[in-house]
């Protein structure tokens, strides 16, 4: 029988605990060129979504979440490993308002430091309760492989002009959402969730991850650099097949569709002009409204999964608050 968790820390306290643990967990040593990029990439500035989900999911089912802290740190190290490599593949110069690791150092150093981070993630996982390690490693390994599959699909889509909405949603599910759902599932395992509740919390975080990524897509075209943490319009300039781009291509007439498809490679236009023109075409196709409606769909599905948990509603209140802050929704 679950009871309300009276020892529950606030979201800000949990986040501070995550930051403290990560600071204590940072790799250091020689050669400095291997470890300095790791420290640089793990410095405060990220949202810490994945470790927060791990701890919050654990806290739904257990009064103490400290046993889940090594797992929370592990998923954050893994996430940052993927960012180091993603920035190279995307040729992204900015990450969290700072030069990306490969721009500050070089590509080879970024690759090697990223590799070291995933090894350290496994070291952290080994600190989890021993009897749970087989379950935790199974989830972590499956999650990691799905993230890699999603990244490959993302790269494959760059050379295609016929990517469907369904294919895109599947890609971001693999590339982004499964790491959120894997993080929450690991936390729930440490918290002692039942098999049925594990499925509900996994579905919750997966749908939340889809809503989050779609909002990220939206911010890339309509947000600010401060909101996004990197330069605005990157997806447009790279010709990425995002939800916005695919929706616009499906709704525009032939001439405008061709223009939008080739906009990123139009050497006659400056980057700012390409972004501005893409926004004009997005507006004409009512892409912003379409994206916001899809975000709401996945967010509502996430809350339905949270409501299905076999715990008093009070124990999910903090997770609900976190989810609402993540996608900027108030109800």
If you average pLDDT over residues 306-328, what whole number do you get? Answer: 94
- Residue 329 in this model has a pLDDT that exceeds 70: no
Question: Beta partners for 94?
Answer: 99
Is residue 1 in some structural domain? Answer: no
pLDDT confidence bin for 9, thresholds 50/70/90: confident
Q: Is 6 helix (H, G, I), strand (E, B) or coil?
A: coil
Give me the CATH number covering residue 81: 1.10.600.10
pTM: 0.92
CA distance readout (Å), 269 to 88, 273, 283, 284 = 24, 6, 20, 20
Joined together, the tokens standing for residue 162 give: 């016929």
Rg (Cα) of the chain, in Å, rounded?
20
Q: How many domains does the chain have?
A: 1
Q: What are phi and psi for residue 97, nearest 5 degrees?
A: 80, 5
Query: Which regions of the chain does DSSP assign to beta strands (E)?
Result: 94-95, 98-99
Is residue 235 in some structural domain? Answer: yes
pLDDT confidence bin for 144, thresholds 50/70/90: very high
Is residue 150 in some structural domain? Answer: yes
Cα 162–209–24 angle (5° rounding)? 130
Is residue 3 in some structural domain? Answer: no
Is residue 2 in some structural domain? Answer: no
What does the pLDDT look like over 189-247, one tens digit per residue?
999 999 999 999 999 999 999 999 999 999 999 987 667 666 778 889 988 899 999 99
Residue 63 CB coordination number (10 Å): 14
The pLDDT value given to residue 331: 39
Winning range, highest mean pLDDT, from 16-20, 228-232, 265-269, 296-300:
296-300
Provide the mean pLDDT of the chain. 92
What does the pLDDT look like over 83-135, one tens digit per residue?
999 999 888 887 877 889 999 999 999 999 999 999 999 999 999 999 999 99
The pLDDT value given to residue 6: 41
Residue ranges making up the domain that contains 206: 11-327
Q: What are phi and psi for residue 314, nearest 5 degrees?
A: -60, -30
- Residue 44 in this model has a pLDDT that exceeds 70: no
Is residue 160 in some structural domain? Answer: yes
Residue 67 CB coordination number (10 Å): 17
The pLDDT value given to residue 145: 98
Q: Taking a C-beta distance cutoff of 8 angstroms, is the pair 282, 251 a contact?
A: no
What does the pLDDT look like over 56-71, one tens digit per residue?
999 999 999 999 999 9
The pLDDT value given to residue 1: 45
The pLDDT value given to residue 330: 42
């Amino acid at each position: 029988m679950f009871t309300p968790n009276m020892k529950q820390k606030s979201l800000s306290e949990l986040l501070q605990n995550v930051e403290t643990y990560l600071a204590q967990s940072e790799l250091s040593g020689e050669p400095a060129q291997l470890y300095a990029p790791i420290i640089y990439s793990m410095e405060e500035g990220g949202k810490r979504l994945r470790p927060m989900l791990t701890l919050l999911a654990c806290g739904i089912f257990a009064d103490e979440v400290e046993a889940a802290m090594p797992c929370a740190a592990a998923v954050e190290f893994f996430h940052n490993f993927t960012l180091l490599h993603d920035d190279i593949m995307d040729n992204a110069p900015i990450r969290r308002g700072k030069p990306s690791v490969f721009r500050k150092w070089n590509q080879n150093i970024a690759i090697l430091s990223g590799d070291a981070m995933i090894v350290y993630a496994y070291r952290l996982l080994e600190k989890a309760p021993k009897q749970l390690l087989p379950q935790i490693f199974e989830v972590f390994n499956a999650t990691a492989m799905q993230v890699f599959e999603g990244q490959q699909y993302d790269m494959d889509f760059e050379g295609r002009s016929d990517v469907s909405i369904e294919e895109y949603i599947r890609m971001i599910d693999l590339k982004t959402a499964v790491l959120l759902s894997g993080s929450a599932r690991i936390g729930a395992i440490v918290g002692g969730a039942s098999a049925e509740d594990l499925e509900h919390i996994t579905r919750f975080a997966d749908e939340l991850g889809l809503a989050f990524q779609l909002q990220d897509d939206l911010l890339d075209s309509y947000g600010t650099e401060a909101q996004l943490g990197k330069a605005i319009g990157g997806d447009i300039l790279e010709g990425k097949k995002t939800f916005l781009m695919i929706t616009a291509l499906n709704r525009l007439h032939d001439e405008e569709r061709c223009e939008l498809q080739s906009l990123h490679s139009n050497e006659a236009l400056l980057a700012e002009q390409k972004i501005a023109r893409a926004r004009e075409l997005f507006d004409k196709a009512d892409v912003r409204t379409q994206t916001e409606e899809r975000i709401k769909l996945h967010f509502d599905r996430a809350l339905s999964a949270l409501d299905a948990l076999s715990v008093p509603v009070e124990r999910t209140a903090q997770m609900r608050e976190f989810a609402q802050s993540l996608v900027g929704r108030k109800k």
